[in-house]
Amino acid sequence: MLLPDDTLIAFIEQHANDDTHHLLLSAARYPGIDMEFAVRQIEGRRKAAEKFPSLPGNEQFIYPAKLSMEQCSSEPTALYKAALVEGLSVIDLTGGLGIDAIFMSKQSRTYCYIERNKELAEAAVHNFAACKTTVESHCAEGLGFLQNSNRQFDCIYLDPARRDDNKNKVVLLSACEPDVPANLNVLWQHTKKILVKASPMLDITQAVRELGCVERVHVVAVKNECKELLFECRPDAAEYSIVSVNLQSDNDQPFRFTPQEETEAEPVYTNRLAAYLYEPNAAMLKAGAFRLIGKRFGLQKLHPDSHLYTSDTLHDGFPGKIFQIITAGALNKQSVKEALPAGKANVVVRNFPARPEEIRKKFGLHDGGENFLFATTLSDGQKKGIICRRV
């Protein structure tokens, strides 16, 4: 494995803002520089600045292949997982780039990292030292490592690869590598807790059914973009709860509930818009507490499929965005022009037969500004445009 020396580090720093494609074409101008490695580090640092901002300043940190960067956790989600394993002995069977290991090991009692890809494993070991992180590391196939040992851990963590043999993306747990549901009998021989990271595209109910031992599901969003699902499993789990959280937002207050609570909640529908409009965040929308959220906050729902709510009372703890309604009415050119004389608004569509770009084009609107235009359907079937501003 190539390690960055002072010359290579200086080159990377000097060309940090350069066009990497141009650098590759100009490799002959820089004898003694492994240009492919240098470009990978430059691109890796750029990506890292978004995903894990505390690491790019570490000159010794090595960034491997692009695909590993795509699937690895972001810093906020890694820190969230770290809180779930605080004080536990953890084995990570799908170590990858090692981002989770770097952050989770700081909270766990002990952390054992397993990665079968030699290049990734070597880079991770180097990075653990660069980050002054205490992690036990092994280059091995995760399940095989477990089967060849008699060790016990408080928690087994897995982030199964979401690519098939043809490098196509997959979502179902049974289609990932390793197939966690098919290997639970092996895993339970070495732990009493399993934590599985999965794609945010995965159907929660189906995954719970596949695993059959889920105690808690975490729906994790960052800045209102759903990033990952986490399944906490125990061998004797009979029922499960769901926690949704929107990290690095104005209000990341977790919303906890059970599927039974959601089923039993009776929503109150209305076609009258009150003073405020409530829009759940991305984690809440994925978690699916569409009925219960109205009950807990005393809100009225605009339509079974709109997932927008209204109230004359301001509820600061709501897990999402709150808007003060300015006006509402039929979506036609005259009403939109009167409500938005500057011709600018952030257009949001919820249960409405048009896309935001179609609405902007039809009414000559430019994106941005303080005003929001929600195009939606009320409980009586009326199509409405709601003009509002963020509280």
Looking up residue 383, the CATH number of its domain turns out to be: 3.30.2130
Q: What is the mean pLDDT of the chain?
A: 92
Residue 224 lies in a domain: yes
Same domain, 231 and 330: no
Distance of CA 14 to the CA centre of its chain: 33
Same domain, 212 and 305: no
Nearest C-alpha neighbor of 388 from the set 322, 335, 333, 337: 322
Q: Tell me which of 218, 249, 280 is where a domain ends.
A: 249
Per-residue pLDDT for 185 more than 90?
Answer: yes
Residue 52 lies in a domain: no
351 falls in which pLDDT band (50, 70, 90)? very high
Same domain, 124 and 225: yes
60 falls in which pLDDT band (50, 70, 90)? confident
Nearest C-alpha neighbor of 183 from the set 198, 196, 200, 165: 196
pLDDT of residue 69: 67
Q: Tell me which of 195, 222, 249 is where a domain ends.
A: 249
Tell me how many domains the chain contains.
3
Same domain, 287 and 361: yes
pLDDT of residue 65: 67
C-alpha–C-alpha distance, residues 46 and 43, integer Å: 5
Residue 260 lies in a domain: no
What Å distances lie between residue 195 and 94, 176, 188, 191, 226, CA to CA?
A: 12, 15, 12, 11, 18
C-alpha–C-alpha distance, residues 282 and 290, integer Å: 12
- pTM given for the model: 0.90
Q: Which residue range forms the structural domain that includes residue 193?
A: 69-249
Same domain, 124 and 208: yes
Same domain, 164 and 231: yes
45 falls in which pLDDT band (50, 70, 90)? confident
pLDDT of residue 263: 97
Backbone angles phi, psi at 216, to 5 degrees: -155, 140
Nearest C-alpha neighbor of 374 from the set 361, 354, 364: 354
55 falls in which pLDDT band (50, 70, 90)? confident
C-alpha–C-alpha distance, residues 119 and 106, integer Å: 24
C-alpha–C-alpha distance, residues 282 and 302, integer Å: 18
Same domain, 215 and 275: no
Residue 288 lies in a domain: yes
C-alpha–C-alpha distance, residues 93 and 100, integer Å: 12
Same domain, 27 and 84: no
